[in-house]
Amino acid sequence: MRAAVQAGNEVAKTIRCGMVSQATTEGGKTSCRFKDGGSILVSKFLAAHLGPGDEISFPLATGADGAGTEIYIRKTSLSAGNRDVYQAPIGYAARPKSDKRGQPYVRAAVSQGSLGISALHFPCEVLRDYFYVADRRLTWENQKTFYDFLRISSSASPAELRLAFRLRELELRAEDASKAALSAAERAFNILACPELRACYEELLSNPTVPVLFPYGGFGSIIVLGERSRDRQTVFVRRIVSFLPDIKQRRFRAPLRKFEFHGDRALYRDPRRKLEVLADQSAMPIVWDQTWNQWKQFLGTKLEIRGTFVEAGKYRRIGGEWHQVKWETAVPSRLTVKLPASIADQVETARNTYHRFGQFSEALARLRERIEREPMEREALRKICWETGIPGDFDIAEINWRPDYDKFFYDQLCRRARRLYLFRDEYIFELEAAAVVETPQLGHATYLFLKPRSMEQFLAAYIRTTKEDIRHNRGNVAELLGFLGRVIHGASPRTWLAELKAKVGEHVAYVAAADLSENLGVK
């Protein structure tokens, strides 16, 4: 009991409460002075809803003077329509549900709240009137549609929408339009450029009371007007004043073969970085169609992607339970994709390669079935291909190559190998001083073994075990195979290469490895 009281006192000491006596502007913020002494700096959004006599509660910043990002303002005025004000960082905003009255709402979690508030309750009409309108000063009934605002047909393709957004933005800037108008144009495009949000908006146009999504799943800093629940743990939101999503600026290179090509969009997902990019044919100016998915594994080119990414939450079922996974999604209006100058030639070469070897698809399928059962050496495979009539310039690695494989890992091992074996989705290399099992994909690892006296005996033992058995040395299998350890495919391929060289006894030339990575476009 005494410990609980002490803990309560510690919490109380971290919360500052005060009554506003005066508010004065200081630069871009407002200083609110308390009647009992002291002050706090707040944003202009909060200051617009503050007045003398209002009560402010906020946690004191840990290890520094000043307030944290969570602030609750209790309005003392009894005027009609007066609402309390709450600023807080929020996490995942769940998908819409219906309350006891059948009214749709969205619930968002407060991230690391210190004032006893754990969630925000948004009626869907509140989300609609903030995220899905062009002019937040007007009622829903008096709004222009996003299509009218961008001056584009409601049947416009994603590429046409992007072009309309760019033209509208140029017009607004030429007219010296307000920041609100420019933001509205960007908001309109970002809603319509996301298929899920566009579908949600289309439903709103026919029925303004339907459930709506919190765009991109929440995650950011929000200021709302509303009232606290009786248990003080929830704020029922009546209006959103401001929302700033959590964002990151990113620049990276992405293999074109890892995109999923749809009729009017191309989707790139990176499980390692946990991010996704949705590009239209205006953002990524090459003409594709869904048939690209059949031969994209032959595309070796990489694109440069720059953009603003917002944090977005997803739920996945893992081990029978639902777990929240944080992802980052590129904001459509701030996406730039740079293509290499030789993109057209590379696409044509990849397409021709696919068509050229398409006539041998049945023979290659039989080879794939065979390497599912047993490892096959590269030269033996070449002999079979030659006897089948497959042209001699066919790359044997393509037999079990996958679109998300990275040639950097494969090429570095291939140039050091005496012999190469294909087995299932792996490549087994016999090096001068080691045997290496490789799945050339980010997120995987390179498995290294002592140089076996007989590769045939090594392979016979290897195919009867699993990598989990090797890692845990079940049945002494790691000792039997001469397991040396793993080299993880991390964020830096040059680090992987240096560690690989060190483990196989090769001189580590860090500068050379760095130069090679840059030449390959790996960062």
Mean pLDDT by 10 residues, the chain (523 residues): 41 72 78 83 82 85 50 75 86 90 93 90 97 96 96 96 97 95 96 95 96 91 94 95 94 92 93 90 93 88 94 69 79 96 92 85 90 95 91 87 85 94 96 94 90 94 94 94 92 87 66 36 34
d(CA 80, CA 77): 9
pLDDT of residue 66: 37
List, in order, residues 6 or more apart from 203 with CB less than 8 Å away.
Answer: 210
pLDDT of residue 493: 85
| pTM for the structure as a whole | 0.76
- Cα angle: 165, vertex 169, 171; to 5 degrees: 120
- Spell out the CATH class of 247-346: mainly beta
d(CA 156, CA 148): 12
pLDDT of residue 77: 65
pLDDT of residue 510: 35
Alpha carbon separation from 513 to 130, 382, 442, 487 (Å, rounded): 51, 31, 18, 16
Please provide the DSSP assignment of 456-521 as one string.
HHHHHHHTTS-HHHHHHTGGGHHHHHTEEEEEE--S-HHHHHHHHHHHTT----HHHHHHHHHHTT
pLDDT digits (tens, 9 = 90+) for 352-361: 888 888 888 8
At residue 105, φ and ψ (nearest 5 deg) are -150, 165
pLDDT of residue 168: 96
Nearest to 219 by CA among 311, 305, 117: 311
d(CA 28, CA 129): 27
| Domain range list for the chain | 247-346, 359-519
- Letter string b/e over residues 399-423, b meaning 16 or more CB atoms within 10 A of that residue's CB: bbbebbbbebbbebbbebbeebbbb
Residue corresponding to tokens 């807080």:
88
